[in-house]
Amino acid sequence: MPRFPLAVLSLGLAAATAHAQQNPPLTLQTLPQASTTHPIAPAAPPDPLFLGKQALAHSDYATAQTFFTNYLKDNSVSVEALFYAGNAALGLKQYDEAARRFDAAIAIDPTLWAAHKNLVIIDAAQGKWQDFDRERKLLAAARASNAPNLSKIDPDVIEVIYLDSERYVVRAFPQLAGRFKVRYNFVHFGKDSKADFWIACESDDVDQAAFAQKHPKEAAAGERSFSMDSYTVAPAGSTHGTIKFYPDGEPTYDTVRADAIKILEHKTGPLSTTTVPGAPKTATPKAEPPAPK
């Protein structure tokens, strides 16, 4: 499918004056002879997209969108500008506009994987599940072919779910990750941008003996059973809940998503819960992913 998410060094006047006093300008006669064969490299030109990137870094999507829209009037084939314009539109939840920008960038550079990943998020937001699956398959095929600039292990953000006033970031792991072999997690972040609750679709090793006994051929081929578990982090300790099992193999994302939303909407509850002091015994999502930049 042809569709494609700064540091400023400033030298104060006083510091500049002191530096100049301590380091007077070099004159031609003070340059060593070697400098004629090893000239000083010219300063790098300023980034023409700096102001737009800075606006994105501060989540000022409207300003960023205006900047990149104006820039693209004279630089319509700038892949970088198209990508950042898409991120600005995505930040504003202008999904059609964001998709248009990412499509244009991908048309020029089909291997712009970040744009493909953002299209997955857009397709989920718009309920375009066939397009969603197609983009994810494209990324999976690229990983299988060892495509450059595409990690085989880093998770992808594939959806952002809004329920009432709460926001949940959904990550998909290309390879089962962590002690409990996580495939998906639905993460809620607190005001400090740290994960305080998440639901995981995981494949704990302790469950695989029963799966192998029931499905020996599938187990021999590398298939596994899965479960859905919840984790809560609080000062008093962490809580783990077992929500349900998928004893006959890996569920589709559609199934996992529907089951997770039932939990998040408090329509169903866990089968069992345990509370222990300290951090949960699973990989805690580190921090909220940054907004599109």
* Choice among 11-25, 64-78, 151-165, 238-252 with the minimum mean pLDDT: 11-25
Confidence at residue 215, expressed as pLDDT on a 0 to 100 scale? 96
pLDDT at 78 over 80: yes
Share of the chain above pLDDT 90, in %: 69
Exposed, middle or buried by CB within 10 Å (0-12, 13-18, 19+), for 1? middle
> 20: pLDDT confidence band, cut at 50, 70 and 90?
very low
Q: pLDDT, tens digit, for every residue of 181-192? A: 999 999 999 988
> 68: pLDDT confidence band, cut at 50, 70 and 90?
very high
* Choice among 30-44, 49-63, 239-253 with the minimum mean pLDDT: 30-44
Rounded CA-CA distance 287/244 in Å is 26
- The CATH number of domain 48-150 is 1.25.40.10: yes
> 10: pLDDT confidence band, cut at 50, 70 and 90?
very low
Return residue ranges of the chain for CATH 1.25.40.10.
48-150
The more confidently predicted of residues 35 and 60 is 60
Residue where the block lists tokens 């499918």: 1
Q: Do 118 and 102 form a contact (C-beta atoms < 8 A)?
A: yes
Exposed, middle or buried by CB within 10 Å (0-12, 13-18, 19+), for 65? buried
Q: Do 155 and 173 form a contact (C-beta atoms < 8 A)?
A: yes
- How many angstroms separate the Cα of 21 from the Cα of each of 12, 15, 18, 28, 32? 14, 10, 5, 19, 21
Averaged pLDDT, 127-155: 96
* Other beta carbons less than 10 A from residue 30's beta carbon: 9
Confidence at residue 58, expressed as pLDDT on a 0 to 100 scale? 96
Q: Tokens standing for 69?
A: 């829209």
Confidence at residue 40, expressed as pLDDT on a 0 to 100 scale? 64
* Choice among 54-63, 238-247, 264-273 with the minimum mean pLDDT: 264-273
Averaged pLDDT, 67-80: 97
Q: pLDDT, tens digit, for every residue of 157-170? A: 999 999 988 999 99
Confidence at residue 25, expressed as pLDDT on a 0 to 100 scale? 37
Tell me the residue type at 161: I
Averaged pLDDT, 111-138: 97
Confidence at residue 32, expressed as pLDDT on a 0 to 100 scale? 36
Mean pLDDT of the chain: 83
Rounded CA-CA distance 143/153 in Å is 9
